[in-house]
A = this chain, B = another copy of it.
Amino acid sequence: MADPIKLGIAGLGTVGVGLIKIVQENAGLLTTRAGRPIEITAVSARSNSKDRGVDLSAYDWEDDAVNLAKRDDVDVFVELIGGDAGPAKAATEAAIAAGKHVVTANKAMLALHGQELALAAEAAGVNLRFEAAVAGGIPVIKALTESLAGNNITRIMGVMNGTCNYILTRMETAGLPYDTVFEEANQLGYLEADPNLDVGGIDAAHKLVLLSSIAYGTQVDFEGAVLEGIGRITIEDINAAAEMGYRIKLLGVSQMTDTGLSQSMRPCLVPVASPLAQLEGGTNMVILEGDAVGQIVLRGAGAGEGPTASAVIGDIMDIARGINIPVFGQPASGLASVPCISTSAENQFYIRLNLHDEAGAMARVSAALAEAGVSIDRIRQESHEDDAAPVLIVTHPTDRGTLNGAVAAIENSGVVLAEPVVLRIENV
Protein backbone atom coordinates (compact mmCIF):
# COMPACT_ATOMS: atom_id res chain seq x y z
CA MET A 1 0.00 0.00 0.00
CA ALA A 2 1.37 3.40 -1.01
CA ASP A 3 1.55 6.37 1.34
CA PRO A 4 -1.65 8.26 2.11
CA ILE A 5 -2.41 11.30 0.01
CA LYS A 6 -3.05 14.29 2.24
CA LEU A 7 -5.65 16.97 1.60
CA GLY A 8 -5.88 20.53 2.81
CA ILE A 9 -9.42 21.82 2.29
CA ALA A 10 -10.06 25.57 2.12
CA GLY A 11 -13.72 26.55 2.29
CA LEU A 12 -16.24 24.61 4.35
CA GLY A 13 -19.50 25.51 2.65
CA THR A 14 -21.82 22.98 1.07
CA VAL A 15 -19.20 21.38 -1.15
CA GLY A 16 -16.46 21.30 1.48
CA VAL A 17 -18.77 19.60 3.95
CA GLY A 18 -19.88 17.16 1.25
CA LEU A 19 -16.27 16.30 0.50
CA ILE A 20 -15.47 15.69 4.18
CA LYS A 21 -18.49 13.36 4.44
CA ILE A 22 -17.31 11.32 1.45
CA VAL A 23 -13.75 11.08 2.80
CA GLN A 24 -15.06 9.97 6.18
CA GLU A 25 -17.91 7.68 5.13
CA ASN A 26 -16.40 6.04 2.04
CA ALA A 27 -12.84 5.79 3.41
CA GLY A 28 -12.49 2.06 2.79
CA LEU A 29 -13.79 2.32 -0.76
CA LEU A 30 -11.46 5.24 -1.54
CA THR A 31 -8.41 3.42 -0.21
CA THR A 32 -9.20 0.27 -2.17
CA ARG A 33 -9.80 2.12 -5.40
CA ALA A 34 -6.95 4.63 -5.14
CA GLY A 35 -4.50 2.07 -3.81
CA ARG A 36 -3.70 4.41 -0.92
CA PRO A 37 -5.61 6.15 1.87
CA ILE A 38 -7.13 9.59 1.26
CA GLU A 39 -6.60 11.69 4.38
CA ILE A 40 -7.52 15.21 5.41
CA THR A 41 -4.71 16.99 7.25
CA ALA A 42 -6.04 20.49 7.73
CA VAL A 43 -8.97 22.72 6.89
CA SER A 44 -9.61 26.41 6.63
CA ALA A 45 -12.70 28.61 6.58
CA ARG A 46 -13.94 31.96 7.78
CA SER A 47 -15.36 30.73 11.09
CA ASN A 48 -13.80 28.11 13.35
CA SER A 49 -16.78 27.99 15.69
CA LYS A 50 -19.65 27.24 13.33
CA ASP A 51 -21.28 23.80 13.60
CA ARG A 52 -21.22 22.33 10.11
CA GLY A 53 -22.61 18.92 10.97
CA VAL A 54 -19.32 17.11 10.41
CA ASP A 55 -16.60 16.21 12.87
CA LEU A 56 -13.52 18.35 12.16
CA SER A 57 -11.69 17.50 15.38
CA ALA A 58 -9.10 15.28 13.68
CA TYR A 59 -7.97 18.06 11.34
CA ASP A 60 -5.68 21.00 11.98
CA TRP A 61 -7.29 24.39 11.57
CA GLU A 62 -5.79 27.24 9.56
CA ASP A 63 -7.29 30.70 9.62
CA ASP A 64 -5.49 31.58 6.42
CA ALA A 65 -5.99 29.56 3.23
CA VAL A 66 -2.57 30.60 1.94
CA ASN A 67 -0.92 29.06 5.00
CA LEU A 68 -3.00 25.92 4.51
CA ALA A 69 -1.90 25.70 0.89
CA LYS A 70 1.79 25.78 1.83
CA ARG A 71 1.75 23.21 4.64
CA ASP A 72 4.32 20.45 4.40
CA ASP A 73 1.70 17.84 5.24
CA VAL A 74 -0.61 18.81 2.38
CA ASP A 75 -0.23 17.05 -1.01
CA VAL A 76 -3.43 18.34 -2.58
CA PHE A 77 -4.87 21.77 -1.91
CA VAL A 78 -8.65 21.73 -2.37
CA GLU A 79 -9.90 25.22 -3.15
CA LEU A 80 -13.59 25.61 -2.31
CA ILE A 81 -13.51 29.25 -1.26
CA GLY A 82 -14.96 30.72 -4.44
CA GLY A 83 -14.61 34.13 -6.04
CA ASP A 84 -12.51 34.81 -9.08
CA ALA A 85 -9.69 36.52 -7.23
CA GLY A 86 -8.95 37.29 -3.57
CA PRO A 87 -8.05 34.47 -1.18
CA ALA A 88 -9.07 31.72 -3.64
CA LYS A 89 -6.55 32.84 -6.24
CA ALA A 90 -3.88 33.77 -3.71
CA ALA A 91 -4.07 30.36 -2.07
CA THR A 92 -4.15 28.53 -5.40
CA GLU A 93 -1.02 30.37 -6.50
CA ALA A 94 0.66 29.65 -3.18
CA ALA A 95 -0.17 25.96 -3.47
CA ILE A 96 1.22 25.72 -7.00
CA ALA A 97 4.34 27.62 -5.99
CA ALA A 98 4.82 25.16 -3.12
CA GLY A 99 4.50 22.20 -5.53
CA LYS A 100 1.06 21.08 -4.37
CA HIS A 101 -1.63 19.72 -6.64
CA VAL A 102 -4.81 21.82 -6.71
CA VAL A 103 -8.41 20.69 -7.07
CA THR A 104 -10.98 23.44 -7.36
CA ALA A 105 -14.67 23.95 -8.02
CA ASN A 106 -14.06 27.60 -8.88
CA LYS A 107 -15.38 28.34 -12.38
CA ALA A 108 -15.03 32.12 -12.09
CA MET A 109 -11.35 31.95 -11.14
CA LEU A 110 -10.55 29.61 -14.01
CA ALA A 111 -12.68 31.43 -16.57
CA LEU A 112 -10.84 34.66 -15.81
CA HIS A 113 -7.37 33.45 -14.84
CA GLY A 114 -7.25 29.90 -16.22
CA GLN A 115 -4.42 30.48 -18.68
CA GLU A 116 -2.11 32.05 -16.11
CA LEU A 117 -2.86 29.39 -13.48
CA ALA A 118 -2.47 26.54 -15.97
CA LEU A 119 0.92 27.84 -17.08
CA ALA A 120 2.03 28.04 -13.45
CA ALA A 121 0.75 24.54 -12.60
CA GLU A 122 2.36 22.96 -15.64
CA ALA A 123 5.67 24.71 -14.98
CA ALA A 124 5.55 23.34 -11.42
CA GLY A 125 4.58 19.85 -12.65
CA VAL A 126 1.43 19.76 -10.55
CA ASN A 127 -2.19 19.05 -11.39
CA LEU A 128 -4.80 21.79 -11.47
CA ARG A 129 -8.13 20.04 -11.83
CA PHE A 130 -11.67 21.40 -11.93
CA GLU A 131 -14.29 18.76 -12.77
CA ALA A 132 -16.54 20.25 -10.08
CA ALA A 133 -16.42 23.70 -11.69
CA VAL A 134 -18.58 22.65 -14.64
CA ALA A 135 -22.01 21.02 -14.34
CA GLY A 136 -21.58 19.66 -10.80
CA GLY A 137 -21.52 15.88 -10.71
CA ILE A 138 -21.56 15.41 -14.49
CA PRO A 139 -18.13 14.12 -15.59
CA VAL A 140 -17.91 16.47 -18.56
CA ILE A 141 -14.33 17.74 -18.09
CA LYS A 142 -13.01 14.19 -18.04
CA ALA A 143 -15.21 13.14 -20.95
CA LEU A 144 -13.88 15.99 -23.06
CA THR A 145 -10.24 15.90 -21.92
CA GLU A 146 -9.76 12.14 -21.87
CA SER A 147 -12.58 10.02 -23.29
CA LEU A 148 -13.05 12.13 -26.42
CA ALA A 149 -9.36 13.04 -26.76
CA GLY A 150 -9.25 11.36 -30.19
CA ASN A 151 -12.03 13.54 -31.54
CA ASN A 152 -12.03 16.80 -33.33
CA ILE A 153 -14.80 18.43 -31.26
CA THR A 154 -17.30 20.13 -33.54
CA ARG A 155 -19.81 21.62 -31.10
CA ILE A 156 -20.68 21.89 -27.42
CA MET A 157 -24.10 22.76 -26.07
CA GLY A 158 -25.28 22.92 -22.52
CA VAL A 159 -27.84 23.93 -19.97
CA MET A 160 -25.58 24.57 -17.00
CA ASN A 161 -27.26 26.92 -14.55
CA GLY A 162 -29.81 25.27 -12.31
CA THR A 163 -31.18 28.54 -10.97
CA CYS A 164 -32.12 29.83 -14.43
CA ASN A 165 -33.57 26.46 -15.23
CA TYR A 166 -35.60 26.53 -12.04
CA ILE A 167 -36.91 30.03 -12.77
CA LEU A 168 -37.89 29.26 -16.38
CA THR A 169 -39.48 25.91 -15.50
CA ARG A 170 -41.38 27.38 -12.56
CA MET A 171 -42.68 30.30 -14.65
CA GLU A 172 -44.09 27.78 -17.13
CA THR A 173 -45.56 25.27 -14.70
CA ALA A 174 -46.98 27.79 -12.21
CA GLY A 175 -47.82 30.49 -14.73
CA LEU A 176 -46.02 33.07 -12.60
CA PRO A 177 -44.20 36.20 -13.83
CA TYR A 178 -40.42 36.46 -13.77
CA ASP A 179 -40.21 38.85 -10.82
CA THR A 180 -42.31 36.60 -8.58
CA VAL A 181 -40.29 33.49 -9.36
CA PHE A 182 -37.02 35.40 -9.04
CA GLU A 183 -38.07 36.43 -5.52
CA GLU A 184 -39.11 32.86 -4.76
CA ALA A 185 -35.69 31.58 -5.89
CA ASN A 186 -34.07 34.21 -3.72
CA GLN A 187 -36.07 33.08 -0.67
CA LEU A 188 -35.08 29.47 -1.36
CA GLY A 189 -31.41 30.46 -1.36
CA TYR A 190 -30.92 29.45 -5.00
CA LEU A 191 -29.36 32.75 -6.06
CA GLU A 192 -25.74 33.80 -5.77
CA ALA A 193 -24.97 36.86 -3.59
CA ASP A 194 -24.81 38.73 -6.91
CA PRO A 195 -27.90 37.32 -8.66
CA ASN A 196 -26.62 38.55 -12.01
CA LEU A 197 -24.05 35.74 -11.90
CA ASP A 198 -27.01 33.38 -12.31
CA VAL A 199 -29.74 35.21 -14.20
CA GLY A 200 -27.30 37.23 -16.29
CA GLY A 201 -25.81 34.01 -17.63
CA ILE A 202 -22.33 34.77 -16.27
CA ASP A 203 -21.95 31.62 -14.17
CA ALA A 204 -23.08 29.40 -17.03
CA ALA A 205 -20.79 31.23 -19.46
CA HIS A 206 -17.83 30.70 -17.09
CA LYS A 207 -18.47 26.99 -17.49
CA LEU A 208 -18.91 27.12 -21.24
CA VAL A 209 -15.61 28.91 -21.89
CA LEU A 210 -13.73 26.28 -19.87
CA LEU A 211 -15.20 23.56 -22.06
CA SER A 212 -14.31 25.51 -25.21
CA SER A 213 -10.70 25.76 -24.15
CA ILE A 214 -10.36 21.99 -23.82
CA ALA A 215 -12.39 21.22 -26.93
CA TYR A 216 -10.61 23.55 -29.33
CA GLY A 217 -7.18 23.96 -27.74
CA THR A 218 -7.70 27.67 -27.23
CA GLN A 219 -6.93 29.98 -24.33
CA VAL A 220 -9.88 30.49 -22.00
CA ASP A 221 -11.64 33.60 -23.23
CA PHE A 222 -14.54 34.72 -21.09
CA GLU A 223 -14.51 38.25 -22.52
CA GLY A 224 -15.17 36.85 -25.96
CA ALA A 225 -18.36 35.03 -24.98
CA VAL A 226 -21.68 36.54 -26.01
CA LEU A 227 -23.95 36.77 -23.00
CA GLU A 228 -27.62 37.40 -22.53
CA GLY A 229 -29.53 36.78 -19.32
CA ILE A 230 -33.07 35.57 -18.74
CA GLY A 231 -34.35 38.78 -17.10
CA ARG A 232 -36.35 39.93 -20.12
CA ILE A 233 -38.22 36.64 -20.62
CA THR A 234 -41.88 37.10 -19.82
CA ILE A 235 -44.60 34.60 -19.12
CA GLU A 236 -46.00 35.58 -22.54
CA ASP A 237 -42.78 34.43 -24.21
CA ILE A 238 -42.91 31.14 -22.33
CA ASN A 239 -46.56 30.57 -23.22
CA ALA A 240 -46.06 31.53 -26.85
CA ALA A 241 -43.08 29.19 -27.09
CA ALA A 242 -45.08 26.37 -25.50
CA GLU A 243 -47.96 26.85 -27.93
CA MET A 244 -45.52 26.52 -30.82
CA GLY A 245 -43.94 23.38 -29.36
CA TYR A 246 -40.88 24.91 -27.68
CA ARG A 247 -39.47 25.57 -24.24
CA ILE A 248 -37.12 28.40 -23.33
CA LYS A 249 -33.76 27.40 -21.82
CA LEU A 250 -30.60 29.34 -21.04
CA LEU A 251 -28.47 27.52 -23.57
CA GLY A 252 -24.74 27.69 -24.14
CA VAL A 253 -23.34 26.92 -27.57
CA SER A 254 -19.68 26.83 -28.49
CA GLN A 255 -18.31 26.14 -31.93
CA MET A 256 -15.04 26.69 -33.77
CA THR A 257 -15.40 28.22 -37.23
CA ASP A 258 -12.99 29.19 -39.97
CA THR A 259 -13.01 32.77 -38.77
CA GLY A 260 -12.91 32.24 -35.02
CA LEU A 261 -14.50 30.82 -31.93
CA SER A 262 -18.19 31.36 -31.36
CA GLN A 263 -19.34 31.08 -27.73
CA SER A 264 -22.76 32.22 -26.62
CA MET A 265 -24.90 31.84 -23.52
CA ARG A 266 -28.41 32.98 -24.26
CA PRO A 267 -32.03 32.05 -23.67
CA CYS A 268 -33.15 29.98 -26.67
CA LEU A 269 -36.22 28.11 -27.81
CA VAL A 270 -35.68 24.34 -27.98
CA PRO A 271 -38.27 21.78 -29.17
CA VAL A 272 -40.26 20.24 -26.30
CA ALA A 273 -39.18 16.78 -27.48
CA SER A 274 -35.49 17.71 -27.13
CA PRO A 275 -33.73 16.18 -24.13
CA LEU A 276 -32.71 19.76 -23.27
CA ALA A 277 -36.35 20.81 -22.95
CA GLN A 278 -37.07 18.10 -20.42
CA LEU A 279 -34.57 19.35 -17.86
CA GLU A 280 -36.09 20.62 -14.66
CA GLY A 281 -34.72 22.53 -11.72
CA GLY A 282 -31.11 21.87 -10.89
CA THR A 283 -30.53 19.22 -13.52
CA ASN A 284 -27.81 20.12 -16.02
CA MET A 285 -27.16 18.70 -19.46
CA VAL A 286 -24.12 18.94 -21.69
CA ILE A 287 -24.05 17.77 -25.29
CA LEU A 288 -20.65 17.06 -26.83
CA GLU A 289 -20.25 16.50 -30.57
CA GLY A 290 -17.12 15.06 -32.14
CA ASP A 291 -16.10 13.94 -35.61
CA ALA A 292 -15.74 10.30 -34.56
CA VAL A 293 -18.10 9.87 -31.61
CA GLY A 294 -21.08 11.76 -33.02
CA GLN A 295 -23.23 13.14 -30.23
CA ILE A 296 -22.82 12.34 -26.53
CA VAL A 297 -25.37 13.60 -24.03
CA LEU A 298 -24.52 13.85 -20.34
CA ARG A 299 -27.13 14.64 -17.71
CA GLY A 300 -27.04 14.95 -13.93
CA ALA A 301 -27.26 17.25 -10.93
CA GLY A 302 -25.47 20.50 -11.68
CA ALA A 303 -24.98 21.57 -8.09
CA GLY A 304 -25.50 20.52 -4.50
CA GLU A 305 -23.43 18.98 -1.76
CA GLY A 306 -23.17 15.39 -2.95
CA PRO A 307 -22.88 15.85 -6.73
CA THR A 308 -20.28 18.61 -6.56
CA ALA A 309 -18.28 16.82 -3.88
CA SER A 310 -18.42 13.68 -6.04
CA ALA A 311 -16.64 15.60 -8.80
CA VAL A 312 -14.04 16.99 -6.35
CA ILE A 313 -13.22 13.55 -4.92
CA GLY A 314 -13.05 12.14 -8.46
CA ASP A 315 -10.26 14.61 -9.24
CA ILE A 316 -8.53 13.77 -5.96
CA MET A 317 -8.72 10.05 -6.78
CA ASP A 318 -7.09 10.71 -10.15
CA ILE A 319 -4.23 12.54 -8.46
CA ALA A 320 -3.91 9.77 -5.88
CA ARG A 321 -3.67 7.29 -8.76
CA GLY A 322 -0.86 9.29 -10.33
CA ILE A 323 -2.72 10.79 -13.26
CA ASN A 324 -1.26 14.09 -14.46
CA ILE A 325 -2.69 15.57 -17.64
CA PRO A 326 -2.32 19.20 -18.77
CA VAL A 327 -4.98 21.44 -17.25
CA PHE A 328 -6.86 22.01 -20.50
CA GLY A 329 -5.89 18.70 -22.13
CA GLN A 330 -2.77 19.97 -23.85
CA PRO A 331 0.13 22.12 -22.64
CA ALA A 332 -1.16 25.60 -21.77
CA SER A 333 1.85 27.15 -23.50
CA GLY A 334 0.48 25.84 -26.79
CA LEU A 335 -3.12 26.95 -26.39
CA ALA A 336 -4.10 29.22 -29.25
CA SER A 337 -5.40 32.73 -28.90
CA VAL A 338 -8.16 32.99 -31.49
CA PRO A 339 -10.64 35.75 -32.21
CA CYS A 340 -14.11 35.33 -30.76
CA ILE A 341 -16.91 35.89 -33.24
CA SER A 342 -20.67 35.86 -33.33
CA THR A 343 -21.83 32.72 -35.02
CA SER A 344 -22.58 32.93 -38.70
CA ALA A 345 -24.85 29.88 -38.53
CA GLU A 346 -28.39 30.37 -39.75
CA ASN A 347 -31.22 29.80 -37.30
CA GLN A 348 -34.87 30.54 -36.99
CA PHE A 349 -35.60 33.33 -34.53
CA TYR A 350 -38.47 34.22 -32.26
CA ILE A 351 -39.20 37.94 -31.99
CA ARG A 352 -41.60 39.61 -29.55
CA LEU A 353 -42.55 43.19 -30.33
CA ASN A 354 -44.80 45.53 -28.43
CA LEU A 355 -46.26 47.78 -31.10
CA HIS A 356 -48.07 51.08 -30.83
CA ASP A 357 -51.64 50.19 -31.60
CA GLU A 358 -51.92 52.35 -34.66
CA ALA A 359 -52.79 51.80 -38.28
CA GLY A 360 -49.84 50.75 -40.40
CA ALA A 361 -47.64 49.54 -37.53
CA MET A 362 -47.70 45.94 -38.65
CA ALA A 363 -47.11 46.98 -42.25
CA ARG A 364 -43.98 48.87 -41.24
CA VAL A 365 -42.70 45.81 -39.32
CA SER A 366 -43.32 43.52 -42.28
CA ALA A 367 -41.62 45.98 -44.62
CA ALA A 368 -38.57 46.31 -42.36
CA LEU A 369 -38.16 42.54 -42.21
CA ALA A 370 -38.61 42.14 -45.95
CA GLU A 371 -36.12 44.91 -46.76
CA ALA A 372 -33.52 43.30 -44.51
CA GLY A 373 -34.09 39.98 -46.24
CA VAL A 374 -35.71 38.22 -43.28
CA SER A 375 -38.70 36.10 -44.25
CA ILE A 376 -41.49 35.26 -41.86
CA ASP A 377 -42.48 31.71 -40.96
CA ARG A 378 -45.29 32.60 -38.55
CA ILE A 379 -46.71 35.79 -37.13
CA ARG A 380 -49.31 36.33 -34.46
CA GLN A 381 -50.91 39.37 -32.93
CA GLU A 382 -52.70 38.92 -29.63
CA SER A 383 -55.84 40.76 -28.67
CA HIS A 384 -55.09 43.47 -26.16
CA GLU A 385 -56.70 46.19 -24.13
CA ASP A 386 -54.11 48.89 -23.83
CA ASP A 387 -51.99 50.66 -26.41
CA ALA A 388 -49.33 47.93 -26.56
CA ALA A 389 -50.12 45.31 -29.20
CA PRO A 390 -47.94 42.26 -28.59
CA VAL A 391 -46.77 40.71 -31.85
CA LEU A 392 -44.95 37.40 -32.01
CA ILE A 393 -42.91 36.52 -35.08
CA VAL A 394 -41.04 33.36 -35.99
CA THR A 395 -38.64 33.87 -38.87
CA HIS A 396 -37.29 31.46 -41.42
CA PRO A 397 -33.59 30.62 -40.95
CA THR A 398 -31.35 33.67 -41.18
CA ASP A 399 -28.09 34.75 -39.62
CA ARG A 400 -27.91 36.88 -36.50
CA GLY A 401 -26.38 39.83 -38.31
CA THR A 402 -29.19 40.06 -40.84
CA LEU A 403 -31.73 39.66 -38.09
CA ASN A 404 -30.15 42.38 -35.95
CA GLY A 405 -30.33 44.71 -38.97
CA ALA A 406 -34.02 44.00 -39.38
CA VAL A 407 -34.74 44.51 -35.68
CA ALA A 408 -32.83 47.81 -35.69
CA ALA A 409 -34.88 48.95 -38.67
CA ILE A 410 -38.09 48.04 -36.82
CA GLU A 411 -36.95 50.02 -33.78
CA ASN A 412 -36.00 52.99 -35.95
CA SER A 413 -39.40 52.97 -37.60
CA GLY A 414 -40.86 54.25 -34.32
CA VAL A 415 -43.63 51.68 -34.01
CA VAL A 416 -42.29 49.74 -31.03
CA LEU A 417 -42.93 50.64 -27.39
CA ALA A 418 -40.06 48.66 -25.86
CA GLU A 419 -36.87 46.95 -26.94
CA PRO A 420 -37.84 43.83 -28.88
CA VAL A 421 -37.09 40.40 -27.38
CA VAL A 422 -35.17 38.21 -29.84
CA LEU A 423 -34.54 34.53 -29.05
CA ARG A 424 -32.79 32.00 -31.24
CA ILE A 425 -34.58 28.74 -32.02
CA GLU A 426 -32.19 25.84 -31.63
CA ASN A 427 -33.54 22.64 -33.15
CA VAL A 428 -31.45 20.22 -31.11
A296 to B298, CA, bound (A): 7
Q: A150 an interface residue at 8 Å Cβ cutoff?
A: yes
Contact partners of A294 in chain B: CB under 8 A: 137, 300-301, 304, 306-307
Of residues 313 to 327 in A, which have CB atoms within 8 Å of B's CB atoms? 313-314, 316-318, 321-326
A304 to B295, CA, bound (A): 13
Q: A203 an interface residue at 8 Å Cβ cutoff?
A: no
Say yes or no: A306 contacts B325, CB within 8 Å.
no
Contact partners of A278 in chain B: CB under 8 A: 273, 275
Q: A311 an interface residue at 8 Å Cβ cutoff?
A: yes
A137 to B329, CA, bound (A): 19
A314 to B150, CA, bound (A): 6
A42 to B275, CA, bound (A): 43
Q: A360 an interface residue at 8 Å Cβ cutoff?
A: no
Taking residues whose C-beta sits less than 8 angstroms from the other chain, chain A's interface range is 35 or more
Copies in the complex: 2
A150 to B298, CA, bound (A): 19
A321 to B309, CA, bound (A): 26
A29 to B292, CA, bound (A): 13
A295 to B22, CA, bound (A): 16
Say yes or no: B307 contacts A293, CB within 8 Å.
yes
Q: A147 an interface residue at 8 Å Cβ cutoff?
A: yes
Contact partners of A296 in chain B: CB under 8 A: 137-139, 298-300
Assuming the A-B contacts A26-B150, A30-B150, A317-B149, are A306 and B329 also in contact, with contact meaning beta carbons closer than 8 angstroms in the complex? no
Q: A291 an interface residue at 8 Å Cβ cutoff?
A: yes
Mask, A328-339, CB within 8 Å of B = 1, is 011100100000
Q: Which residues of A pack against B, CB within 8 Å?
A: 18, 22, 26, 29-30, 32-35, 131, 137-139, 142-143, 146-152, 217, 273, 275, 278, 290-301, 304, 306-307, 309-311, 313-314, 316-318, 321-326, 329-331, 334
